[in-house]
Amino acid sequence: MQPPPRKVKPAQEVKLRFLEQLSILQTRQQREADLLEDIRSYSKQRAAIEREYGQLG
């Protein structure tokens, strides 16, 4: 006869779900921060190119 499946305590289940959600949110926040940094870098490069182009004309 097999032993009954182990039951997870409700508090442990809540903690596990919380940690999973926290991990997802941290990953999302990092992706968004990386995207903002890419946009910032792009904008700086574009402004520099436009300034250089404006000086030529």
Please report, as a single letter, which amino acid is at residue 47: A
Total domain count for the chain? 1
Model confidence, pTM: 0.68
Please report, as a single letter, which amino acid is at residue 6: R
Residue 4 lies in a domain: no
pLDDT above 90 (res 7)? no
Please report, as a single letter, which amino acid is at residue 31: R
Percent of the chain with pLDDT over 90: 77
Q: Which two tokens stand for residue 37?
A: 């940094």
Domain range enclosing 55 = 11-57
Residue 26 lies in a domain: yes
Cα distance between residue 13 and residue 21, in whole Å: 12
Residue 28 lies in a domain: yes
CA angle 39, 42, 48 (to 5 degrees): 140
What size, in residues, is the chain?
A: 57
pLDDT above 80 (res 2)? no
pLDDT band at 5 (very low <50, low <70, confident <90, very high): low
